[in-house]
Amino acid sequence: MTAVALAALRGRGRTLWARLGEVDPRYLVSFLITLILVVGEARYGILGGYDRLVISLGVCMATELALARLVGGRGAALQSAYVTGISLALLLKPRAGLLWPFALGAFLAIASKYVLAYRGQHLWNPSNFAISLFLLIAPGSVAILSHQWGNHLATNVVIWGFGLLIASRVRVLHVTLTYVVCYLILAAARSAIGGTPLLAELAPITGPMYQLFIFFMITDPKTTVGSRRGRIVVAALVAVVEAAIRLAADHHVAALSAFYPAPPILALAIVGPLAKAIDLCAFFHNPRRSP
Amino acid sequence: MVHGVTSLGVRRLGLTTVFLGAVFLVVALNRGRPEERGAGGGGGAAPGFSLRDVAHDVGIDFVHHAPTLDPRIDNIAPLVASLGASVSVSDVNNDGWPDLYFTNSRFGFPNALYLNRGDGTFVDVARSAGVADLNRPGEGVSMGAVWGDYDNDGLEDLLVYKWGYLQLFHNLDGLHFEDVTAAAGLRQWMNSNGAVWFDYDRDGLLDLYVTGYFRSDIDLWHLKTTRIMHNSFEFATNGGKNRLFHNLGNGRFEDVTDQMGVGSTRWTLAVAAGDFNGDGWPDLFLANDYGPEELFVNDSGKRFVLTRAGLESDSKSGMSASIGDVLNRGRLDAFVTNISERAYLFQGNNLRLNFLPELGRFEQGAEGAVADAGWAWGAQLGDLDNDGRNELFIVNGYVSGDRDRSYWYAMSKVAGANGNVFEDARNWPAIGTASLSGYERSRVFVSRGLAGWTDVAAAVGVTDEYDGRAVALVDLFNRGVLDVVVANQNQRALIYKNTVAPGNHWVAFKLVGTRSNRSAIGAEVTLEAGGARQLKIVDGGMGFASQNDRRLHFGLGSAARVDRVVIRWPSGARQVVEHPALDRLNVITEPGAVP
């Protein structure tokens, strides 16, 4: 290949990259989760039934449309509802084919944005809220996605590749990378403390639950703090709280057992709203800071 | 403006109320229906039977011992060594009383052959019979056994599948056995947890299908590598290869696995054989760990075809495959056990209702409590109260260690990982003395027909929390009721003697093949009585590591007579028996004996 051809290719790459940056970030996020859904369902049948997807998506959309009109005083955030609906369909695994967790989970996820708000902004990522709530109050009816997608490396590589690319273009890569780096460091520390195989501690982050968590929950711009530095601190704190939950699990602390099926999701459910509330509070006391 | 603000406030208040209501609704729905959250109390009408463990009283004090494996996998030894307790039923000496064979799984610990004395007691004759000391270094340990008269001499022979060399024992005189493995061409090292006798080519000779779990090149006591585990929790295909051995009729068997197309490597834990599509040829139904179930349809004895029958999209952890006519439709359905654990995993048991003739597929019939029985292992369908409908007995529990320490969290760490990670046993966190779905109670479901199933375990006296593995149903004392035998891992065996409320009739059949294999394995009996129809099959091994009594037991409820019985023999012959005698065992010999 000639130098000219290489240069042309690089130029096209840069152009594509630049065009990607011009796309509304919400569409990129929607594209990524749709990609995960389509690839996962086509190759592994991850949904376990299209009825779950229809219910989750339908209730999310309907709830968002209704509540935006009734109490929101703004246009409906259908893209958010779309991502939430798919996330719930992918992450919630019901007992014996139950469907009500998807209907109620979808409603509670979207409604939480309107009910559990502080100074006009919601505190929880909607799917993070619904999943955490169900794991805490309905563990007999739902499980979290603990293993899926064939445990295949190729699937991981595709999703991580697209995920990192899109995270970069929507300018949340620092959140993803902070969390991942902190997770890896803390996993090594837990391995050293507990004497467990390092790969066992690193293993969860290669799983699909983490992919959804890293690219759709912890990076949700609506529920994270305003400053870049603040977001980095919050991501690190989530990893720290998660590590604490995992250490408790390693030591069989019974009082926290409800947290053990999904440590990162519940860590975010604890840290995220607190950080957001503090950030909003600080903003109202010092409006020059961005919320 | 004020009005608008007030209206918004009211709407917000209303939304908050609805929101809280939804939260409470989740809590309420999570509690489920009373019969789902009960401990097997039934919650309705009293069941028409009760079960009482009489193992010690009848002289059966068998205790299973798990294998001790290569120390390189000590970190997960309790998980890997969690198999091997089995029970299979046969009348080994043709005295009309069913006998029991239990396997042990540790070097130096014997298997047991409990001979039924006919007086309500049993005596272990395994050592004198030559089928006790099978668990030896270099030879492997027993995982289960199936009985079948492979040479049609009228005596039931014994195949013991092992983590190690298969062993075939020829029944010499009812009380003595000869190891004919090598002469039969079966001395093969397999890490097997299941086998079934069946006559796939209908030549009147029993063939043998043996499943593989770990790969056959693995010696679990002398590991060359620790990369011995599955490489996916859902679609693993790196298990041991299943093998089909064709009975040549001269005491030898030929491995025809590849030419018949049945060499699945999907970590098969259980297999059952039956004619699911009604074409007269027995098919193979596999329950696979770490993967979907498989149905190999028999193409006229010439080959098997792996068939998409609604099974392929469910990736689960199949442990046991039992077949029976669940809804009295005159058709074979399948029940496959799986895993359920709160918040971690709901794979759920599968009740595969057979709609192959109409739809080309099975439909899922498991819901509610039947689907969610814990870490379920062996299961059997049988009419325990003689009312004409099947009950379902399921044993549960994986590893019962410390009650306050669970391995579920630790396992969930590797479960989501790339397959290369957990394929290596060294990468698994150490289980130590923790439990993994331990101390789970057994379930006894009474069929309410289309209304579903009700768990009556506690109400009928089944309250044990052992790590159940194998279940076999048999009328142990020739009383006209099905008793339940349970083999527990690392624990004692249970003999649940059944007491049925009076009033219901029954009938049983012992079939003797002539053109078909002498054991009549694969024969289907359809009984019509009181406007209802029931189908049962003589099994050559089904459930998990178990084999039921080959005498077929039918409850009749209040029906005062049987209209007719249709027998479809493995040879293809069809026989009709009008009005067989009630409340007794009918011995029926296949007509048209081979001269």
pLDDT digits (tens, 9 = 90+) for B484-499: 999 999 999 999 999 9
d(CA B25, CA B19): 10
Fill in the amino acid letter for B245. F
d(CA A160, CA A211): 7
Query: For the residues A86-112, what does the mean pLDDT come to?
Result: 94
CA dihedral in degrees (A93, A95, A96, A99; nearest 10)? -70
Confidence of residue A119 (pLDDT cuts 50, 70, 90): confident
Residue among B231, B404, B427 minimizing CB distance to A199: B427
- Measured between CB atoms, does A58 come within 8 Å of chain B? no
Residue among A141, A196, A206 minimizing CB distance to B429: A196
Q: Does residue A101 carry a pLDDT above 60?
A: yes
Number of H helices, E strands in chain A: 12, 4
Q: Does residue B595 carry a pLDDT above 50?
A: no
Asked if A203 lies within 8 A of B417 by C-beta distance, the reply is yes
Q: What mean pLDDT is reported for chain B?
A: 94
Residue among A100, A143, A201 minimizing CB distance to B345: A143
The residue ranges of DSSP E strands in B11-103, in sequence order, are 49-53, 86-90, 99-103
Query: For the residues B465-471, what does the mean pLDDT come to?
Result: 98
Q: At what angle do helices A126-137 and A263-285 cross, to 10 degrees?
A: 130
The percent of residues above 90 in pLDDT, for chain A, comes to 54
Whole-angstrom CA distances from B189 to B161, B162, B167, B241 are: 10, 8, 10, 11
d(CA B470, CA B472): 7
From the CA of B420, how many Å to the nearest CA of chain A? 8
The percent of residues above 70 in pLDDT, for chain A, comes to 88
Asked if residues B337 and B378 have their Cβ atoms less than 8 Å apart, the reply is: yes
Quickly list DSSP for A87-119.
Answer: HHHHHEEEGGG--HHHHHHHHHHHHHHHHSEET
Backbone angles phi, psi at B29, to 5 degrees: -65, -35
Contacts of B266 in chain A (CB under 8 A): none
d(CA B408, CA A261): 8
Long-range contacts of range B33-40, CB-CB < 8 Å, 24 or more positions apart?
Answer: B33/B368, B35/B368, B35/B369, B35/B454, B35/B455, B36/B368, B36/B369, B36/B372, B37/A140, B38/B455, B38/B458, B39/B441, B39/B457, B39/B458, B40/B441, B40/B443, B40/B444, B40/B455, B40/B456, B40/B457, B40/B458, B40/B459, B40/B462
Least Cα distance to B215 among B254, B285, B265, B255 occurs for B265
- Which residues in chain B (424-443) have CB-CB distances under 8 A to chain A? 426-430, 434
d(CA B328, CA B528): 10
Q: Identify the pLDDT of residue B592.
A: 82
* Residue B407 CB-half CA count within 13 A: 24
Q: Identify the pLDDT of residue A142.
A: 94
Backbone angles phi, psi at A98, to 5 degrees: -60, 140
Place of tokens 């209304």: B451
Residue among B367, B408, B409 minimizing CB distance to A96: B367
From the CA of B431, how many Å to the nearest CA of chain A? 10
Q: Does residue B335 carry a pLDDT above 70?
A: yes
Query: For the residues A178-185, what does the mean pLDDT come to?
Result: 97
Q: Identify the pLDDT of residue B302.
A: 97
Place of tokens 């406030």: B9
Cβ atoms within 10 Å, residue B217:
10
Question: Which tens digits make up the pLDDT trace of B52-74?
Answer: 999 999 999 999 999 999 999 99
Q: What mean pLDDT is reported for chain A?
A: 87
Backbone angles phi, psi at B420, to 5 degrees: -65, -25
Query: For the residues A138-155, what does the mean pLDDT come to?
Result: 76
Query: For the residues B441-449, what does the mean pLDDT come to?
Result: 92
H helix or E strand, kind and range, residue B511: strand B505-512
- Measured between CB atoms, does A165 come within 8 Å of chain B? no
* Burial group, residue B145, by CB count within 10 angstroms (0-12, 13-18, 19+): buried
User: Which two structure tokens, joined as six digits, stand for B268?
Assistant: 């098969």
- Measured between CB atoms, does B2 come within 8 Å of chain A? no
- Measured between CB atoms, does A131 come within 8 Å of chain B? no
Q: Does residue B140 carry a pLDDT above 70?
A: yes
Secondary structure of residue B89 in the 3-state scheme? strand
- Measured between CB atoms, does A70 come within 8 Å of chain B? yes
Residue, of B424 and B530, whose pLDDT is higher: B424
- Which residues in chain B (5-64) have CB-CB distances under 8 A to chain A? 8, 11-12, 15-16, 18-19, 22-23, 25-27, 29-32, 37
Q: How far is CA B116 from the centre of its chain?
A: 23
**Least reliable range by pLDDT among A79-83, A184-188, B446-450, B569-573:** B446-450
ipTM for the predicted complex comes to 0.90
Asked if residues B154 and B173 have their Cβ atoms less than 8 Å apart, the reply is: no
Residue of A70, A90, A95, A112 for testing the chain B interface, max B β-carbons within 10 Å: A95
Secondary structure of residue B411 in the 3-state scheme? helix
A195: DSSP letter: T
Radius of gyration of chain A (CA): 20
